[in-house]
């Protein structure tokens, strides 16, 4: 018997990295899984890599029209939502003097505005016992150069989770978040580094962790499953760090 037998789960940003690993795991645990993405290439790859029972949908997490369409399809096809895993996010890094209004808007639209309005729009589908999970980041409590806007978006998301946990508790809906640390995901390929520089960066980061290694998508997916399932039935408003024992501030 799976931990999510009979559950309907939506995973945004589910075509790569943590979202893709979570989609596989949620399906293995018995859920009917929907995943979203916005890149045609990764959407096609996810469709080929995931079991055919997993529904892969194109949706831009920053577009309210796309979110309306997404929730409408879920209502028509499933009628309810038991697990809402809002994992979609982008990471672009700029020094304070180089950050533009467009950079700010792009990060906040995907990482904060989108999660807020998707939760709002999905609320009529969420019933008693439903679980909402947000992917935040260790940067919501640790400072790194060039990550000010990204940090602000993730800190806002962590605050949103805490506030909604209290607001939605009377409805029997739990809201928690997981904060990945250094995880081997495709986001690192978007840092603009050469393969050698990326390898050196990952090695340097690993030395700052108690476990001396980067984490994997599957390890974060296991925590997402815990928060999505009844195993965490007495938890709400919490943020779980999945960071290999970070030892630097």
Describe the strand order of the beta sheet including 32-37 as a list of residue ranges. Answer: 55-58, 32-37, 8-12, 81-86, 126-135, 174-180, 239-242
Tens of pLDDT, residue by residue over 137-172, are 999 988 888 899 999 999 999 999 999 999 999 999
Tens of pLDDT, residue by residue over 97-119, are 999 999 999 999 999 999 999 99
- Reply yes or no on whether 134 is catalytic: no
pTM, entire model: 0.92
Tens of pLDDT, residue by residue over 182-210, are 888 665 555 555 667 556 666 666 667 78
* Dist CA 191 CA 216 (whole Å): 18
Lowest-pLDDT range, 31-35, 76-80, 86-90, 185-189?
185-189
- In degrees to the nearest 10, what's the CA dihedral of 42, 94, 151, 240? 50
* Dist CA 47 CA 111 (whole Å): 24
Mean pLDDT on 122-134: 98
Walk me through the domains of the chain, giving residue ranges and CATH numbers: 8-183+216-242 (3.40.50.720)
Mean pLDDT on 64-93: 97
pLDDT for position 249: 45
């Amino acid at each position: 018997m799976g931990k999510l037998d009979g559950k309907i789960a939506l995973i945004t940003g589910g075509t790569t990295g943590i979202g893709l690993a979570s989609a596989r795991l949620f399906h293995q645990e018995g859920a009917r899984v929907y995943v979203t993405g916005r890149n045609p290439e990764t959407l096609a790859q996810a469709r080929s890599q995931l079991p055919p029972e997993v529904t892969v949908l194109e949706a831009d997490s920053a577009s309210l029209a796309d979110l309306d369409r997404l929730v409408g399809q879920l209502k028509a096809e499933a009628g309810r939502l038991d697990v809402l895993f809002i994992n979609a996010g982008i990471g672009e890094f700029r020094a304070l003097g180089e950050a533009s209004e467009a950079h700010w808007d792009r990060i906040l639209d995907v990482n904060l505005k989108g999660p807020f309005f998707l939760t709002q729009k999905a609320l009529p589908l969420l019933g008693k016992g439903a679980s909402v999970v947000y992917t935040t980041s260790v940067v919501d409590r640790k400072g790194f150069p060039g990550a000010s806007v990204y940090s602000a978006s993730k800190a806002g998301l962590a605050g949103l989770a805490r506030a909604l946990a209290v607001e939605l508790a009377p409805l029997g809906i739990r809201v928690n978040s997981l904060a990945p640390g250094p995880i081997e995901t495709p986001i690192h390929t978007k840092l603009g580094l050469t393969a050698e520089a990326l390898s050196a960066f990952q090695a340097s980061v690993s030395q700052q962790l108690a476990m001396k290694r980067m984490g994997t998508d599957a390890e974060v997916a296991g925590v997402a499953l815990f928060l999505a399932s009844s195993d965490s039935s007495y938890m709400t408003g919490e943020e779980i760090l999945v960071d290999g024992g970070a030892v630097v501030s």
